[in-house]
């Protein structure tokens, strides 16, 4: 902090999903570490995940109505201009009350009106974009931003003449950041410790399968159907998603027997080698000990896996404009993963290609090294540096 300067006031806006909220909180934490006197206020909605996670992290949350951009001509589109003006004015009051020096946005419903309010008030804007293909809010804000930090080098944002944009990586959740630090210090010890905490044998290959908290039906079906071939070469940790364990359990039990199924935790050590659960809060442990992961390619997933240097088979969810494929392509091109279309990820593909990868330690080692080189582990600090520098300039304006 500059001697004699007043404490920095930072207002962070955005949220909705964990993919937005986690980077927002990581940036806030990094700013607080570097500037202990700084004040932080978060603008979000009552319906987004920020309503629960922001207060838990200890930051004040100001909520505004959720007003989506209209995508088709209907009654909501007719009502949008009035709602938008009201929302921007509400954010302006929040910024004035906070005596904001800088506005930091991560995308989501609350970000767009925050960008507009900051623009109207002459406040500097800093944006983080975690996706390879940006959402509407960050596309709006980027043209006014002093700085845009991206998780990818090929993000389709356009900044204004006075703005700057560069790849900084994804600000990591504390659990992932600490795991990355442990893996950097002693990867073998980190792997062994994580495997033992999950009830796995650290001396045997480990395959992690996850489709996120909601699971991925096609991935679940293909892996369960190929379980006999997969178990011949690895232990499996399968996070199948809420409400989706039944079909997986029945398929695996029919193929290899109920006794091969187990839960997750040290109490299950030696009691089975297909470790099935719907959801596991400490996925960083599973990633730390995985020799290979099969997963979707949401932006947060790809960035966290690359930051930990884990080889991956990415199976993009075919939605929107193919955003998930764009997320995975850079790390795959760097050699850190394999990209398989959802339609091509079948039982036959899994039974044939995955054991081939798992039985090739040289290939997996090369993929691990490539993923680690591509991954970024200090993105939160990089973003905090930009926020502080631009916020200080905002104080002097």
CA dist 219 → 137, 227, 349 (Å)? 31, 12, 11
Tell me whether residue 61 is in a domain.
Answer: yes
Report the DSSP pairing between strands 102-105 and 164-167.
unpaired
Do residues 211 and 358 share a domain? yes
196: Cβ contacts below 8 Å, ≥ 6 apart: 202, 266, 269
Do residues 123 and 219 share a domain? no
Nearest 10 degrees: Cα torsion 157, 160, 163, 168: 0
Q: Identify the band that residue 17 occupies on the pLDDT scale cut at 50, 70 and 90.
A: confident
Do residues 141 and 52 share a domain? yes
Neighbour count for residue 196 (Cβ, 10 Å): 15
22: Cβ contacts below 8 Å, ≥ 6 apart: 53, 171, 173, 300
Do residues 120 and 194 share a domain? no
- Tell me if 168 sits within 8 A of 383, measured CB to CB: yes
Do residues 347 and 221 share a domain? yes
Residue 262 three-state SS: strand
Mean pLDDT, range 243-258, rounded to an integer? 96
Do residues 277 and 154 share a domain? no
- For residue range 329-346, what is the model confidence (pLDDT) as tens digits? 999 999 999 999 999 999
pLDDT recorded at residue 169? 96
Q: Cα(106)–Cα(126) distance, rounded to whole angstroms?
A: 9
pLDDT recorded at residue 320? 67
Structure token pair of residue 160: 């204004």
- Residue 301's domain comprises 174-374
Do residues 152 and 192 share a domain? no
- For residue range 81-134, what is the model confidence (pLDDT) as tens digits? 778 899 999 999 999 999 999 999 999 999 999 999 999 999 999 999 999 889
Neighbour count for residue 391 (Cβ, 10 Å): 24
Structural Rg of the chain based on CA atoms: 22
Q: Cα(298)–Cα(137) distance, rounded to whole angstroms?
A: 18
* pLDDT of 18 higher than 90: no
Between the two ends of the chain, the Cα-to-Cα distance in Å is 17
pLDDT recorded at residue 72? 67
Structure token pair of residue 59: 């930051």
pTM of full prediction above 0.75: yes
Domain containing residue 207: CATH number = 3.40.50.2000
Residues in the chain, total: 397
Structure token pair of residue 389: 């520098």
Q: Cα(286)–Cα(268) distance, rounded to whole angstroms?
A: 15
Nearest 10 degrees: Cα torsion 283, 288, 294, 300: 60
Do residues 326 and 264 share a domain? yes
């Amino acid at each position: 902090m500059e001697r004699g300067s007043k404490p920095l006031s930072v207002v962070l806006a955005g949220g909705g999903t964990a993919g937005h909220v986690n980077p927002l909180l990581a940036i806030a934490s990094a700013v607080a570490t570097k500037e202990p006197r700084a004040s932080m206020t978060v603008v979000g909605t009552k319906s987004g995940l920020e309503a629960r996670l922001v207060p838990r992290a200890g930051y004040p949350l100001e909520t505004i109505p959720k007003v989506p951009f209209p995508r088709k001509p209907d009654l909501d589109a007719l009502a949008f201009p009035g709602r938008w003006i009201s929302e921007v004015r509400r954010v302006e009051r929040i910024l004035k009350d906070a005596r904001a020096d800088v506005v930091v946005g991560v995308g989501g419903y609350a970000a767009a009106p925050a960008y507009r309010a900051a623009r109207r008030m002459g406040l500097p804007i800093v944006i983080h974009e975690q996706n390879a293909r940006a959402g509407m809010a960050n596309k709006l804000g980027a043209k006014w931003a002093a700085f845009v930090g991206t998780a990818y080098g090929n993000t389709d944002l356009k900044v204004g003449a006075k703005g700057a944009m560069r790849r900084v990586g994804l600000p990591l959740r504390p659990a992932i950041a600490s795991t990355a630090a442990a893996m950097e210090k002693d990867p073998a010890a980190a792997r062994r410790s994580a495997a033992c905490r999950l009830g796995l044998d650290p001396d045997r290959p480990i395959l992690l399968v996850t489709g996120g908290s909601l699971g991925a039906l096609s991935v679940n079906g293909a892996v369960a159907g190929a379980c006999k071939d997969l178990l011949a070469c690895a232990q499996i940790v399968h996070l199948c998603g809420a409400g989706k364990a039944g079909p997986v359990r029945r398929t695996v039990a029919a193929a290899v027997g109920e006794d091969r199924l187990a839960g997750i935790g040290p109490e299950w050590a030696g009691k089975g080698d297909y470790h099935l659960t719907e959801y596991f809060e400490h996925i960083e442990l599973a990633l730390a000990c995985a020799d290979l992961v099969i997963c979707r390619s949401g932006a947060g997933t790809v960035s966290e896996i690359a930051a930990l240097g884990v080889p991956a088979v990415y199976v993009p969810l075919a939605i929107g404009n193919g955003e998930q494929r764009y997320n995975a392509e850079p790390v795959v091109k760097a050699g850190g993963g394999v990209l398989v279309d959802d339609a091509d990820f079948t039982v036959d593909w899994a039974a044939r290609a995955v054991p081939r990868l798992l039985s090739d330690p040289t290939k997996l080692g090369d993929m691990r090294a490539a993923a680690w080189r591509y991954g970024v582990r200090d993105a939160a600090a990089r973003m905090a540096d930009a926020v502080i520098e631009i916020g200080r300039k905002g104080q002097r304006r």
